[in-house]
Amino acid sequence: MNVERVLKNFETFKVVNAEGHILGRLSSVIAKRLLKGEKIVVINAEKAIVTGKPEVVLQIYKEKYDRGSKEKGPYFPKHPEKVFKRTVRGMLPWKSRRGREAYKRLRVFIGVPEKLKSMEFEVVEEALFEKVSKTDKFVTLEEICKHLGWKV
């Protein structure tokens, strides 16, 4: 993926590392910040965590993916960066102009692109798994996507 092309029109932006963060909590924090006008780049999207019993979480995501038909949808993504963006989109007022413009200020990557390795990554304290979760049962977004059929 050409990082320069994707980050075009992004002069100043915040880089958030999703590794070790709970997907829903991180998505809600990012959605609020996007609505305030910030431009955000998320790296390591595949290392975000979904809490719960692994069998149940995988079953729920598989049901979402299998819902509908190939011709008419609804379509659910297999790639971790697209699942992450879809989660953030669900927390934005998507049907309004404000929500769509906020969504355009979000970029999500698998891993860490070369251009962003030298930058400082931001950690969202209220979404960290170690600080918030009281359970040891979780699944990473990468495992979920592999279960859906994503080929690395």
Q: Is the pLDDT of residue 118 over 90?
A: no
Question: With contact defined as beta carbons under 8 Å apart, do 43 and 123 qualify?
Answer: no
Give me the residue spans of the domains in the chain.
Answer: 3-148
pLDDT classification of 1: cutoffs 50, 70, 90: low
Q: Count CB-CB contacts under 10 A for residue 28.
A: 17
**Average of per-residue pLDDT values in the chain:** 90
Q: Is the pLDDT of residue 138 over 70?
A: yes
Q: Any idea which architecture 3-148 has in CATH?
A: Alpha-Beta Complex (3.90)
pLDDT tens-digit series, residues 18-73: 999 999 999 999 999 999 999 999 999 999 999 999 999 999 999 988 987 878 88
Contacts 24+ apart (CB under 8 A), 72-77: 76/148
Sheet containing strand 106-108, edge to edge, reads 14-17, 40-43, 106-108
Question: With contact defined as beta carbons under 8 Å apart, do 17 and 46 qualify?
Answer: no
